[in-house]
């Protein structure tokens, strides 16, 4: 189910043929995956023809493969890592560089050195 489905296909400077195809696309899409695949394929083909007739390149986010992956791509969900000591509060995991602050011995005017590995 997708609300405002038709708005995903609206383009600037459409041709009359594209406007006719866009009128057939439902505003709220509540159908199966096969019907979604067919609708996306038909609409993206018309978008491609519209862009080509105007002498424009088709942007990647208007291509069939991108649109198919947008709605039919694999769902990637992440699981919260409970091994880091999550106890009902906010769990933060260190990602990236470790900041190590150490006291500088001799020769430093500020007395603190920050080292990243």
**Is 102 a domain residue?**
no
**Is 22 a domain residue?**
yes
**Is 90 a domain residue?**
no
Structural domain including 30 reads 6-72
Instruction: Report DSSP state, residue 58.
Output: P
**Is 60 a domain residue?**
yes
**Is 58 a domain residue?**
yes
**Is 93 a domain residue?**
no
At 103, the pLDDT band (50, 70, 90 cuts) reads very low
67-85 pLDDT tens trace:
888 888 776 666 665 555 5
Q: Which of 60-64, 65-69, 90-94, 101-105 has the lowest mean pLDDT?
A: 101-105
Q: 1, 29 in Cβ contact below 8 A?
A: yes
At 110, the pLDDT band (50, 70, 90 cuts) reads low
Structure tokens at 116: 């990243």
At 20, the pLDDT band (50, 70, 90 cuts) reads very high
**Is 10 a domain residue?**
yes
**Is 13 a domain residue?**
yes
User: What pTM does this model have?
Assistant: 0.56
Better-predicted residue by pLDDT, 52 or 70: 52
Q: Provide the domain count of the chain.
A: 1
- Compute the Cα dihedral for 39, 44, 45, 46 and give only its sign: positive
């Amino acid at each position: 189910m997708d609300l405002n489905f038709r708005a995903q296909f609206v383009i600037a400077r459409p041709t009359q043929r594209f406007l006719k195809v866009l009128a057939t696309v439902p505003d709220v899409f509540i159908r199966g995956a096969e019907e979604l695949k067919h609708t996306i394929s038909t609409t993206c083909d018309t978008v491609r023809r519209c862009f080509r007739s105007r002498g424009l390149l088709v942007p990647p986010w208007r291509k069939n493969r991108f649109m198919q992956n947008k709605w039919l791509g694999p769902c990637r969900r992440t699981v919260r890592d409970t091994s880091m000591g999550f106890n009902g509060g906010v769990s933060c995991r260190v990602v990236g560089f470790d900041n190590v602050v150490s006291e500088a011995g001799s020769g430093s005017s500020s007395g603190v050195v920050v080292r990243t590995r």
